[in-house]
Structure 1
Amino acid sequence: MNGRTVHGYCAQCKARCGSVAVVSEEDVLLSVRADPDHPNHSFCVKGAAAPRFVHDPTRLRHPMRRTNPKTAADPGWERIGWDEALTFVARRMREIAAAHGPESVVFTRPAPGGSHAGDWSPFLDRLAAAFGTPNVMTTGHICSWGRSGGAAHTFGGGLPTAHYEDAATILVWGHNPAVSNVQTWRRIQRATRRGARLVVVDPRATGTTRRADLWLRPRPGTDAALALGVTHLLLARGYYDPEFVTWWTNGPFLVDTETGRLLRRDGRFVVSDGSDEHAVDVEADPSTWGVRPRLRVDRPGARSAFSLLAERAARYDPETVARLTGVSEVDLGRLADLLANGPVCYDTYNGVEQHTDTAQTSRALGVLYALTGWLESPGGNVTFSSPGGLPKLRTDSSRRLGLADRPLGAPRNGVAAYDVYDAALTGHPYPVHALVAFGGNALLQNGDTRRGAEALRSLDLHVHVDMRENPTARFADLLLPASTPWESPGLVTGFGGGPDTQTWAQYRAPVVPPQHESRPDVEILFDLAVRLGLGDQFWDGDVHAAYAAQLEGTGLTLDELRASPGGLRRPGRTLTYHRHTRVRGDGTVTGFATPTRKVELYSEAFLDAGHDPLPVHNDRSAAFTPEFPLTLTSAKLRQYTHSTGRSIPSLRTQAPEPFLEVHPDDADTYGVHDGAMVRLATASGAIRLRAKVSTSVAAGVVATQTGWWEACEELGLPGHDPFSADGANVNLIISNAVRDPISGSVPVKDYPCRIEPLP
């Protein structure tokens, strides 16, 4: 194609692939392909569809104001100007804050993993804090908390990055990067080509499982039992690293068997060398302790955390684990053997995050991995430094919705949709009066769709900024058109994923001008901040001044990045192995950012909050009854990110309609035929889907996808009413009532259901 080429990166998901766009003289985006010179040089079908996303006829074209009641089928949109719209929004936000407190205003954004929110979400969080509200509604409770917030209770921070480049064994658990992250998948494939062994744990057959050396297929919701079973084998077979566990976990610390709390003497934790007990300084280099702690200690009144863990894991012997999970004893042993072949790294994602025991599953995986001793080592999971960024503004988080109920969970970082719904409808713990939404489609990405709609109708102010009018936006008072990422500026100070990409920084200028009257999200945020009187916190509305501030400390300037649109490598080191062993200038050791300064096999924080301090499996078998005997799970399609993309012909052609994967045995049992319509029912309702009889799921499990609502008129393919039993919105039949008591996650991945054929 003829036209000028423009370098950038695709921001439609978290992979952030380097791109080269071709743009016509008329500023029409003609094509986008991978940039072969960029360290993130893969691309996917969604990125290749960028021209249609930009020039799609279904996009919003100008700001609009509702004229009909929110109970009406037609919002009665009336065109208005940007100045009128943002002046109104700022005035109403100030009025509501004055009358009810700033916490009664909730901001929201989509998950950066499936949108371009990563380009501007720090500024949205900054605006919320500057305004005075602790409430930013996210999907963290069902997406990312398990690998970030959950991992922090073991490692002291989010899950360190898997260093695939030097790994001998790669463990991918509840994650399908072959579909969801082409950059991660590229790294894994490169590692397996040089000889690394790939182990995948997933109840569904996927593109990732097909490349595995070992695929374990547990029943959905039994991951913690499986992890504890492997932990038992590592301990029983001596496959763990005694040096790492002794010096860098709290395994040798003694626990009072009466109170469950770690023993302390003069404020220090206590260990035993077998003949005497010693108080140790966890701030000091453990090589200076003058004692070698024993891992297994069992005396009257006290036991070591390691002994308690070993006792807990012993409950999950191979026979028990096989019964609970459906994974054979042979495969359980094979996994343990492979984990003894280091270096070992692991990665995990949504597959283990959408259950009623997400927190304990995260702990079980973290503890299992810590025993291998490869944390922060070459080929293990390592922490990359991330220079640059902006200091976060602080607000009173104690008033954040959900935090009082789940102080260790997702509310530490964001608010779940169901807490916003409850506050709006019941006034508990205080009323929510306004929602300021920058993208997202909460009604289709969270359970209890109808209750969510009721909550949105109740609001005094609902502003929605988006590229299209999705089902959530339809309830807004004002609908404001956002530009696509291809029409927006963006800045990345490190692409993540590996040492070659973490040091790569890039400024992305708009590839084409904003279409119609749309504006980039980041510009709308800054404009709104100024109108709220918060310009001093937003560089007086100058987005590029903010970018320059973000780059401070990186060794690069915005002018340098503008002059090199394909990106530049940051100077200095980003990767340091064994960083926990470093001794600082004041003589203290870096350690881990946990209360014990060690990897926490035993969590006193969990104990103090009323939860089990050791990982444990939550048996949900009683939730499955003769009325709802099957397990409903869900997965993503590579063509779509969440609820977007189904109006794009090139994508919809590849995945034209919603479907339900059904095992042949269950198809025979329930009289279901391949290609026929079935009713999928739970205790909360029913939807209609086309059956796809397949061994991609195990007997007793059915699987579908979230996000179906858009039509594709050019292909003659209909939309699906997300509020109707004749639609295909799986979250319509998912209740938020059953949750993980720690994280707040909802069991989207193991929900009781039944199926029946439709005439």
Structure 2
Amino acid sequence: MQSTSTPTHCPYCALQCGMNLTPAQQGGVEVRDRTDFPVNRGALCGKGRTAPQVLSSRVRLTSPLVRAGDGTLAPATWDEALDRITGELTRIRAEHGADALGVFGGGGLTNEKAYALGKFARVVLGTSQIDYNGRFCMSSAAAAGIKAFGLDRGLPFPLEDIPRTGCVILVGSNPAETMPPALRYFTELRANGGTLIVVDPRRTRTAEQADLHLAPRPGTDLALALGLLHLVVAEGRTDEEYIQRRTSGWEEARAAAMAHWPEYVERITGVPVPQLREAVRLFCEPEHAMVLTARGPEQQSKGTDTVGAWINLCLATGRAGRPLSGYGCLTGQGNGQGGREHGQKADQLPGYRKLDDPAARAHVAGVWGVDPDSLPGPGRSAYELLDALGGDIRSLLLMGSNPVVSAPRAAHVEERLRSLEFLAVCDVVLSETAALADVVLPVTQWAEETGTTTNLEGRVLLRRRALTPPDGVRSDLEVMHGIAARLGVEKGFPTDPEEVFEELRRASAGGPADYSGITYRRLAEENGVFWPCPGGAEPGEGGALDAPGAGREEGGSPDAGAGLGEDASLDAPGADDPARDGDGGAGAHPHPGTPRLFLDGFATPDGRARFVPVTHRAAAEEPDDEYPVLLTTGRVVAQYQSGAQTRRVDELNAAAPSAFVELHPRLAVRLGTAEGDPVAVVSRRGRAVAPARITPHIRPDTVFMPFHWPGAGRANTLTNPALDPTSRMPEFKVCAVRLERA
């Protein structure tokens, strides 16, 4: 263990809060504030402060486990475990072909691991069947962003811009519980005279901070956005000059919105017309405004269209591609942004390149030293891959995910996992999914390894190793190296994360997510670097500053950092430091990175943003006489994702020990249940039971369950795997249920 404090980042959400790790008297490390990191400025939530507790050998895996003849998982040596894995993969591939081998990754893997996993699947295994749990997180926002702007980056501006805008519409997000250090940005917004509008069927802790809370019926966010755009047009609040100069497709989108008049939208959403009009006034009157979406509107079978409707609202009012205005997605998982950029997604190659693009295949194959024709084509999306397990997919290698708890229709997914001929899981703890595996490999955690992540702003960060991992634990990179070598691929899978990152830089060069100008040295010296950051170009002398979407505000100077004219406070970090050299490729001055996108143009062929006409449609499953209530799901402040790690921390479990069913008092009266009584929630896919939590802060036609727990209270037993046709996102956020006294 190092004797001094190690600056690093939290292992949990996409804020990637800065923290310092210092040696603890009782051994291990403890968390100390790191005030120099601009995202959280020293603030941490309870999950971040207690993160070192999961490093304890009391809760984590320290030895490989192999399924014995009697069906139990027994400790084994690494050679025994890796030999078992390679033997089974070799047998299954010989009998059924390469696509019988599935690979499933995670949005918490570092950039290096995500990159190596995509390469491993395609080069070593030769399979197209790879995807990751980030498909369940922000894929609809990504798809909508690419349609409208030509590029997806969660936030196209830093968080620091939020307090300086005039109004924020926060749609389906509860940062007070999901990423508490981010709440200060919205508090500062209001302190500066700006307004906050929260769209959520529940009056959450975040909604309590809002100037206006809109509580639509779950599954109707698309109609709500269209209704607001209708009013913008009807009240003459569109920015016609901006629309003409910087967009295309307005007439079609306008016509679609005009079919959603206020009274019609009120009937669909339950949001009163006066509230719709007030929202439009608050959003349109300031000079600057933003719309931020999260899982609420995105985790729907029409999530891409829903996000597209909110983007249309921004475009119609001139609120995109300008300082202190725009649309952004609040990415959830720790490396959810980087995880979807470098190749563990079914249709993707590193640098956010498309797998079916011949030029992209040729570039990446050149970096990998393989024939482009040897690379398989796109495979199944996450749920479709899980649904195919035990069919034509006979084995699965899984890293950094716990689909037994986190996948929709979870009981079915669990059954599919059990039906596999072979399952290997790499994890820190014995998760519910790992407990089903034939081989479990114990891998290093955040504080025991170095690697990069990319936070929700597109800021690439360096996590630093602060501890030596326990004996018997290896990194995911070492796992891939060991399996690849046993399968005859001796080179191309280094175990040093910096060496992997150097290859990632080359593979991403010239792609939409260009990391080629970023190095470990730069990341160690700076508080992150925003992509795109191409190598080999000086600021203002070509590179991404001349590419669509990364350049200057109209009339601005090409020398002003990220191109924001005379507003020095918005300049890119480091853009005025000619002393830095040697990093980021050839040239004395490395590219400063791009904190703010789209200021000079969008990343489309003509540089214009594209309106996408959308219309409201119902959720895949609407209430009926048998299932008359709507279920929506989400998180609580003390737990994270599937809870595999946070449920092993005593302090967090004391704050949130189990699942619950949140319901309105009127619904509780009809059911005849009281606070704390067990309630059964039943959908067409299964049944979950948890104590009642009665509150007036939820719609009477809706119940809410958090999704962090397995067993009887597993919320995802109930959820609907109906998929968005573009993003392939399942409809986690709305399904029809009935309630029973348990």
Q: Report the TM-score range of the alignment, normalised by the length of the smaller protein.
A: 0.7 to 0.9
Cα deviation code 1:41-80 (max 9, x no counterpart): 33111111122111151322200110247xxxxx411221
1:755 aligns with 2:739: yes
1:675 aligned to 2:676? yes
Q: 1:103 to 1:412 in 2, by over 3 A?
A: closer
SS across alignment from 1:537: coil
Q: CA RMSD in A?
A: 3.5
Corresponding residue to 1:497 among 457, 461, 475: 457
Q: Is the 8 A contact 2:112 2:497 kept in 1?
A: no
In structure 2, distance between residues paired with 1:482 and 1:622: 40
Identity, % of aligned positions: 26
CA displacement at 1:550 relative to structure 2: 5.0
CA contact (8 A) 1:439 1:466 kept: yes
C-alpha contact (below 8 Å) 1:377/1:577 kept by paired residues: no
Deviation track 1:551-609 (CA, whole Å, cap 9, x = no partner) reads 687666545766x69879999699987659799x9xxx98534476532224xxxxxxx
1:471 to 418, 432, 452: 432
The match for 1:81 among 71, 77, 85 is: 77
Note the C-alpha offset of 1:241.
Answer: 1.1
SS at match of 2:59: coil
Pair 1:212 & 2:196 matched: no
Task: For 2:327 and 2:386, locate their aligned partners in 1 and report how far apart those are by CA, in whole Å.
Answer: 38
1:424 and 2:417 matched = no
Q: Letter of the aligned partner of 2:735 in structure 1?
A: Y
User: Which of 472, 494, 511 is equivalent to 1:517?
Assistant: 472
Distance in 2 between residues matched to 1:362 and 1:436, nearest whole Å: 33
Q: Structure 1 residues 566, 518: CA separation in 2 closer, same or farther (over 3 Å shift)?
A: farther
2:636 alignment partner in structure 1: 637
CA distance in 1, matches of 2:422, 2:342: 32
Q: Distance in 2 between matches of 1:446 and 1:739?
A: 13
Structure showing greater radius of gyration is 1
With structure 2 as the length reference, what TM-score do the two structures score?
0.78
Deviations 1:406-455 (A, max 9, x none): xxxxx9987444312443344xxxx1122111121112111232322332
Q: 5 Å matches for 1:286-435?
A: 306-340=250-284, 341-381=286-326, 392=350, 415-426=380-391, 431-435=392-396
- 224-233 or 162-171, which deviates more: 162-171
1:133 counterpart SS class: coil
Deviations 1:330-361 (A, max 9, x none): 11001111221231112111101222221221
CA contact (8 A) 1:343 1:380 kept: yes
Q: In the aligned structure 1, how far is the partner of 2:308 from the partner of 2:529?
A: 38
CA deviation after TM superposition for structure 1 residue 489, in Å: 1.4
What does 1:614-629 align with in structure 2 at a 5 Å threshold? 614-620=613-619, 623-629=622-628
Q: Structure 1 residues 560, 745: closer, same or farther in 2, change over 3 A?
A: closer
User: Structure 1 regions of 5+ residues with no counterpart?
Assistant: 70-74, 252-305, 399-410, 603-613, 710-720, 722-726
Q: Distance in 2 between matches of 1:146 and 1:52?
A: 34
Residue 530 of structure 1 contacts residue 541 of structure 1 at CA under 8 Å; is this kept in 2?
A: no
How far off is 1:535 after superposition?
A: 4.7
Which residue number in structure 2 is paired with residue 97 of structure 1?
A: 93
Are the aligned partners of 2:720 and 2:735 in contact in 1 as well (CA < 8 Å)? no
What is residue 168 of structure 1 aligned with on the other side? 166
Query: Within 2, Cα distance between the matches of 1:496 and 1:745?
Result: 19
Equivalent position SS for 1:424: coil
Residue pair 2:68, 2:74 contacting (<8 A) in 1 also: yes
Match of 1:65 in 2: 66
TM-score, with length taken from structure 1: 0.77
The answer as to 2:491 corresponding to 1:544 is no
What's 1:685 paired with?
Answer: 686
Distance in 1, matches of 2:483 and 2:188, equals 45
Are the equivalent residues in 1 in contact too, given 2:139–2:727 (CA < 8 A)? yes
- Distance in 2, matches of 1:497 and 1:488, equals 23
Q: Which residue of 1 aligns with 2:127?
A: 133
Over 3 Å counting, the alpha-carbon distance change for 1:555 and 1:531 in structure 2 is: same
State whether residues 438 and 465 of structure 1, in contact with CA within 8 Å, keep that contact through their aligned partners in structure 2.
yes
Which residue number in structure 2 is paired with residue 228 of structure 1? 226
CA drift at 1:84: 2.7
**DSSP-derived class of the 2:689 partner:** strand
Q: From the superposition, tell whether residues 239 and 578 of structure 1 become closer, same or farther in structure 2 (CA, over 3 Å).
A: farther
1:194 and 2:192 matched: yes
Deviations 1:10-55 (A, max 9, x none): 12222111111121477x2242133112223331111111221111
Deviations 1:703-757 (A, max 9, x none): 0111213xxxxxxxxxxx3xxxxx1112222342x33334333332111111122
CA contact (8 A) 2:291 2:310 kept: no
Shift in Å at residue 107 of structure 1?
1.2
Cα contact 2:102–2:393 (8 A) shared by 1: yes
Say whether the 8 Å CA contact 1:339–1:372 is kept in structure 2. no
Q: CA deviation at 1:461?
A: 2.2
What is the CA-CA distance between 1:512 and the residue it aligns to?
1.3
**Equivalent residue, structure 1, for 2:573:** none
For 2:529 and 2:708, the matched residues in 1 are separated by 37
Q: Distance in 1 between matches of 2:269 and 2:5?
A: 52
Residue 488, structure 1, aligned to residue 449, structure 2: yes
- After superposition, the Cα gap between the structure-2 partners of 1:52 and 1:119, relative to the gap in structure 1 and judged at 3 Å, is farther
Q: Is 2:602 the partner of 1:592?
A: yes
Residues 150-175 of structure 1: CA deviation (Å, up to 9, x unaligned): 32122222254354153111111111
**For residues 580 and 450 of structure 1, what CA distance do their matches in structure 2 show?**
51
Determine the C-alpha separation between the residues in 2 that align with 1:448 and 1:556: 40
Classify the secondary structure of the residue corresponding to 2:662. strand
Provide the rounded CA distance (Å) in 2 between the counterparts of 1:470 and 1:622: 31
Partner of 1:715: none
- Residue 734 (1) aligns with residue 695 (2): no
Secondary structure, aligned partner of 1:33: strand
Deviation sequence 1:172-210 (CA, Å, 0-9, x none):
111112222245433333333222211111111122211
Matches of 1:561 and 1:153, distance apart in 2: 31
Retained in 1: the 8 A contact 2:292–2:327? no
Q: How many Å separate the matches in 2 of 1:520 and 1:433?
A: 25
Tell me the equivalent position of 2:611. Answer: 601
**Is this contact kept in 2: 1:66–1:477, CA < 8 A?**
yes
Amino acid at match of 1:619: A
Against the structure 1 CA distance between its residues 383 and 739, is the aligned structure 2 distance closer, same or farther, given a 3 Å change threshold?
A: closer
Structure 1 residue 700: Cα displacement: 0.8
Matched residues, number: 638
Cα distance change on mapping 1:581 and 1:433 into 2, 3 Å: farther
Match of 2:406 among 438, 445, 463: 445
The answer to whether the aligner puts 1:659 opposite 2:653 as a matched pair is: no
Partner of 2:141: 147
User: CA 1:153/1:212 → structure 2, altered by over 3 Å: closer, same or farther?
Assistant: same
Secondary structure, in 3 states, of the residue corresponding to 1:656? coil
Structure 1 residue 638 displacement after superposition: 1.3
How far apart in 1 are the matches of 2:516 and 2:211?
40
User: What is the one-letter code of the residue matched to 2:733?
Assistant: K
8 A Cα contact 1:344 1:372, kept in partner: no
Say which SS state the counterpart of residue 374 (structure 1) adopts. Answer: coil
CA shift, 1:521, in A, is 2.4
Residue 185 of structure 1 aligns with which residue?
A: 183
Deviations 1:631-685 (A, max 9, x none): 1011101111112211211101111221111101111111111111111111222
What residue number does 2:585 align with?
none
d(CA) in 2 for partners of 1:119 and 1:206? 36
Q: Secondary structure at the match of 1:753?
A: strand
SS in 2 for 1:120: helix
Report Cα offsets for 1:506-564 as digits up to 9, x if no partner: 543321111241222233234434444445433x44333223455687666545766x6
